[in-house]
A and B are shown apart, each in its own frame.
Chain A
């Protein structure tokens, strides 16, 4: 079975550029989560969706970050303009919505470097 698919796996870009990260959740999963992982802060939830609707975006660091889920099989996380402190590994995860304590299944992440 296909797991959560993220692209690109690596992204290197210059400060000020727009960055778009993509995620395809596991088929049949109705909840989708975006996390950021750094050495200093560990794994932090940025935003999550249920049935394509954003439920909690309190972890989104600032207005430069935005996330969308136009349909059940695709989500994007956009940073505009990017800054060096945005460098991190960004993970997408999905889970079934039935039984809200179902485990989240993670993709292999996008390693983002902002120069």
Chain B
């Protein structure tokens, strides 16, 4: 069964304190791994797609990396506006399938 586990469940950092969020996955075959950001009362907002081990994507203070078993979301010198829940999802490599399997998310709080 396809499964995604994110850790930690919650993380509290001081402004400027860099850290990483983890997404471990088991899937029969990986079409893509997606990172989303979700603010309270809002829908998930797309951040990155990673397709193969070794790939990296960056956007402002965020960098996502991918191995064969896990993905990391690195946050460098975060600001209070980076506070949100970060969701990881995998898309299994099944012919014609577009479904996403989501992890439970990491709730990130950046204190000023």
Contacts and interface: CB of A to CB of B under 8 A. Distances in A.
Size class of A's contact patch?
A: 20 to 34
A25 interface: no
A24 to B, nearest CB: 14
Nearest to A93: B43
A56 B99 contact: yes
B77 to A, nearest CB: 26
Contacts of A71: none
A95 B43 contact: no
Given A55-B96, A101-B31, A43 B87 contact: yes
B34 A103 contact: yes
Given A42-B103, A42-B105, A43-B87, A100 B97 contact: yes
Interface stretch (B19-27, B44-52, B63-71): B44-52
Interface string A88-105: 000101010000110111
Contacts, number: 56
Interface stretch (A11-19, A60-68, A77-85, A106-114): A106-114
A106 B96 CA distance: 21
Nearest to B32: A101
B41 A108 contact: yes
Interface of B: 31-32, 34, 36, 41-46, 49, 51, 87, 89, 91, 96-105
Sort A-B residue pairs by CB-CB distance and give the 5 closest, nearest first.
A106-B43, A43-B102, A101-B32, A103-B46, A42-B104
Interface of A: 4, 31, 33, 42-45, 48, 50, 55-56, 91, 93, 95, 100-101, 103-109
